């Protein structure tokens, strides 16, 4: 196998770890876990398996589904995408939002500044220097 590292530094000295050599961790879930996560019936997941839309392995006579293929499948199918948002794990996303304005961030902090305001701030900083 040829290592095509174009950097002069070895992998241990580069800023980012080499992703080509590190294997990606595969997450596998059962059919019942997938149906609960995505808010669909177990038969819907089994139908997708038999159609070859979801990749899986069999461990001790039980299906273990590749989570990445499950997510791709759910985003291809409109009904599954909607059920994921309404009945699956997506139903809890609205509770992550901050509903109390006392603890929500000030919207003025996130507004982009105009160029004229930025140049004024820079000139003020220059004038205040000793």
pLDDT (tens place) for every residue of the chain, 130 residues total: 444 444 444 444 545 555 556 667 889 999 999 999 999 999 999 999 999 999 999 999 999 999 999 999 999 998 898 888 888 888 777 655 556 666 555 666 666 666 676 677 667 666 665 5
pTM score of the predicted model: 0.54
Residue 119: both structure tokens together: 């140049």
Taking the C-alpha atoms of residue 85 and residue 75, their distance in angstroms, rounded to an integer, is: 11
Rounded-to-integer distance, Cα 53 and Cα 108, Å: 46
Q: For residue 123, count other CB atoms closer than 10 A to its CB.
A: 10
Copy the structure tokens of residue 120. 């004024």
* CA separation for the pair 17, 10 (Å, rounded): 10
Kindly list the domain boundaries of the chain, sorted by start residue.
25-92
Per 3-state DSSP, the chain is made up of helix, strand and coil in percentages (nearest 5) of 50, 10, 40
Class of domain 25-92: mainly alpha
């Amino acid at each position: 196998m040829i290592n095509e590292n174009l950097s002069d530094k070895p992998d241990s000295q580069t800023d980012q770890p080499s992703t080509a050599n590190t294997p990606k961790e595969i997450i596998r879930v059962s059919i019942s876990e997938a149906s609960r996560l995505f808010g669909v019936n177990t038969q819907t997941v089994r139908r997708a398996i038999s159609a070859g839309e979801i990749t899986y392995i069999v461990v001790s006579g039980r299906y273990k589904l590749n989570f990445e293929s499950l997510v791709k499948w759910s985003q291809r199918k409109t009904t599954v995408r909607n059920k994921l948002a309404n009945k699956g794990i997506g139903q809890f996303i609205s509770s992550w939002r901050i509903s109390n304005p006392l603890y929500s961030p000030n919207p003025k902090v996130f507004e982009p500044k105009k160029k004229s305001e930025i140049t004024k701030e820079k000139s003020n900083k220059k004038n205040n220097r000793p």
